[in-house]
A = this chain, B = another copy of it.
Amino acid sequence: MGTDVAPAPEVEGAILAARAGYAQVLLVGPGEVLKRELDRRGAKGLPLEIVHASEAVTMEDHAAKAFRRKRDSSIRVAARLVREGKADGLISAGNTGAVMTAVKITLGTLEGVDRPALAAVFPTSKGTAAVLLDVGANVDCKPHHLEQFAVMGEAYYRVIFGVERPRVGLLSIGKEEHKGNDLTREALALLKQWPGNFVGNVEGRDLYNGRVEVIVCDGFIGNVALKISEGLIEAVASLLKEALSSTLSSKVGYVLSRKAFQNFKKRVDYSEYGGAPLLGVRGVCIICHGGSNANAIKNAIRVAAEFAEGRVNEKIEQGLAGASLARQRRQSDNAVSENSAAGVRRETERGI
């Protein structure tokens, strides 16, 4: 019940996904409405099932209050299905805060994860995808949170985009190590010790040039980055349209190049990437844009299925255990060398 015109895009997207064989889909929401929508579209014989939920969280609802008060909301029911093992994951295009709250409380976090993170997928000029996290689940992060985001983003990229060792960068204001703020400088020191494919600081422009596959940052910065991009794309589209329709010859040009524009729009269309995963929770959760169409919902279901089948969460837990083992080893190495240094010092002091 999440999209701006729910439940049509959800129902239609679910039918497309079921028809494509991506998954068995449970549609959670008002039973009668959903049944009518399914019947109207002739979805008989497809692996689709309705799970009734009498309430829905709106965009105006406060996330935590909605969770407490609307106990039979579609998002709470969906999260419960995942916790009980009746579903592998959930997709929602609803109130992002409410979805995150319901999922974090109902499912809990993976071993080694302090804070789940929301990851957004961006198209690059090389035709590849770049994943940015966190884009809004956590403002005011600590350095070790960014390290966890790196592990989570890498595991996600590996499974969903099939790149064995995706390059991971830390969003800063210059490639040089001394550039950045207190948070990024400390996170840089941590990430340099991380066993993954860390390439160091990257800049805002690297989000779109395909130089890295995964970029980690604080949720405040990531959210600003996401919304600036959306705003700029809108402004460019409107300015271009205006410029193109201002002369007769360019009107002709516009008609002729319309197909090219459609191709272009498709390439930068987030709906092709199927929404933003909430990484670090015990289960699969994909959050879609409120304006999602059926195609976006279909792709989100595909991504959720790949997420579950590719065992992203197991890989995250292994990655976090590996990072923590590596850190313990370093600490004990440091302790050993400090001890031997201390030994040498003591011997020196004794005049040996």
How far is A81 from B243 in the complex, measured between Cα atoms in Å? 43
B254 touches A231 (CB 8 A): no
How far is A244 from B228 in the complex, measured between Cα atoms in Å? 25
Stretch at the interface among A102-110, A202-210, A342-350: A202-210
How far is A235 from B129 in the complex, measured between Cα atoms in Å? 13
In the bound complex, residues from chain B placing their C-beta under 8 Å from that of A171 are 224
A173 touches B257 (CB 8 A): no
Interface string of A219-239 (1 = CB under 8 A from B): 111011111111111111011
B239 touches A267 (CB 8 A): yes
Asked if A139 lies at the interface with its beta carbon under 8 angstroms from chain B, I say: yes
**Chain A residues within 8 Å of chain B by Cβ, number:** 61
In the bound complex, residues from chain B placing their C-beta under 8 Å from that of A182 are 139-140
How far is A139 from B236 in the complex, measured between Cα atoms in Å? 29
A260 touches B243 (CB 8 A): yes
Asked if A336 lies at the interface with its beta carbon under 8 angstroms from chain B, I say: no
Tell me, rounded to whole Å, the shortest Cβ–Cβ distance linking A262 to chain B: 9
Closest to A209 in B: B231
Stretch at the interface among A187-195, A245-253, A323-331: A245-253
A204 touches B220 (CB 8 A): no
Tell me, rounded to whole Å, the shortest Cβ–Cβ distance linking A227 to chain B: 3
In the bound complex, residues from chain B placing their C-beta under 8 Å from that of A208 are 228, 231-232, 234-235
In the bound complex, residues from chain B placing their C-beta under 8 Å from that of A229 are 204, 228, 232
Contact of A139 among B181, B207, B218 (CB under 8 A): B181
Enumerate A233-280 residues with CB–CB distance to B below 8 Å.
233-236, 238-240, 243-244, 246-247, 249-250, 252-261, 263-264, 267-268
Asked if A136 lies at the interface with its beta carbon under 8 angstroms from chain B, I say: yes
B125 touches A220 (CB 8 A): no
Contact A124/B235 with A220-B181, A225-B224 known, Cβ cut-off 8 Å: yes
Contact of A244 among B123, B181, B217, B257 (CB under 8 A): B257
A260 touches B231 (CB 8 A): no
In the bound complex, residues from chain B placing their C-beta under 8 Å from that of A228 are 204-205, 207-208, 225, 228-229
Asked if A7 lies at the interface with its beta carbon under 8 angstroms from chain B, I say: no
Interface string of A158-198 (1 = CB under 8 A from B): 00000000000001010000001110100000000000000
Tell me, rounded to whole Å, the shortest Cβ–Cβ distance linking A167 to chain B: 16
Tell me, rounded to whole Å, the shortest Cβ–Cβ distance linking A147 to chain B: 19
A220 touches B180 (CB 8 A): yes
A259 touches B267 (CB 8 A): no
Contact A246/B263 with A173-B136, A225-B204, A268-B239 known, Cβ cut-off 8 Å: yes
Contact of A231 among B204, B220, B238 (CB under 8 A): B204
How far is A218 from B260 in the complex, measured between Cα atoms in Å? 39
In the bound complex, residues from chain B placing their C-beta under 8 Å from that of A219 are 173
Contact A227/B247 with A238-B125, A253-B255 known, Cβ cut-off 8 Å: no
Q: Which 7 residue pairs are nearest across A and B when measured between Cβ atoms? A: A205-B231, A253-B257, A204-B227, A253-B256, A204-B228, A208-B235, A250-B260
